Amino acid sequence: MQNRTWKVGELSKLTGLTIRTLHHYDEIGLLRPTFRTNTSHRLYTEDDIIKLQQIMSLKELDFSLEEIKEFFENPEYNPKEVIEMQVERLTQEIKLKEELKQQLQELWEVFYSWKKPNLEQFIKSIELIKAQKEYFTQEQINRMKMHYNKLNNVEVDEISKNWRQLISSIQSEMENGTSVDNPRVIELAEKWKRGMDFFSGGDMGIIYSAERYYSENPYAAKGSGMSGELYKYIKDALSNIK
């Protein structure tokens, strides 16, 4: 292989680059073939292919052709550093893709229980996921998920149904102007607290994070059935427990 040469068409098929691109690299002095035939046909060697790989790596790192040419003309140019930069970039891209994958999976879980999600619900779910990252540690999120995943589908459906009914009942009492010291409201608030204890596994850190979220984002959670106003109403009712 050391003595083999490739014509421009062969190199084009080998690398996926167009013949026009290879001609352009030659014209600007970025990648000139080591040999030319008597009829001026370009012949590329193994060293030329190695250099082409470095050019393609640098282009992937968003360097311009002019900058790449300067790299090669620099006596301190180190091909190893190019590979290291590309590996680092790919590592960051993989990390971002994993984060995107996780966010999409969480969105799918949000929509799984909705029959016909609309655009507003989609936007709200994105807001909730972003807020979740800001107010809950990854350890807390994992703990809640682990607790939730212990339930079977029937239990999840039943709990979700009861929770929606509970929130709706408290919302109705608040809209009707029922006082927070009314026994009926206090009873509903106690049911809400037991539900929160269930979802958090009794972890006071999770409960504190949830309280901070609702207090600092009074309108952000409306799409989830809970608003800052409703949360305050429930907390005021709980303060009346003897």
Fold of 6-77: Multidrug-efflux Transporter Regulator; Chain: A; Domain 2 (1.10.1660)
pLDDT at residue 104 greater than cutoff 50: yes
Per domain, the residue ranges of the chain are 6-77, 113-238
The predicted-structure confidence for 36-88, as pLDDT tens digits, reads as follows 998 889 999 999 998 999 899 888 877 889 989 988 888 888 878 877 887 88
What is the percent of the chain where pLDDT is above 90? Answer: 23
On whether the CB atoms of residues 128 and 223 are closer than 8 A, the answer is yes
On whether the CB atoms of residues 210 and 196 are closer than 8 A, the answer is yes
- Residue 222 is classified by DSSP as G
pLDDT band at 221 (very low <50, low <70, confident <90, very high): very low
Rounded mean pLDDT, 179-206: 83
On whether the CB atoms of residues 132 and 141 are closer than 8 A, the answer is yes
pLDDT at residue number 223: 44
Q: What is the pTM of this model?
A: 0.42
Burial class (CB in 10 A: 0-12, 13-18, 19+), 239: exposed
Which residues contact residue 88 at a Cβ distance below 8 angstroms, ignoring those fewer than 6 apart? Answer: none
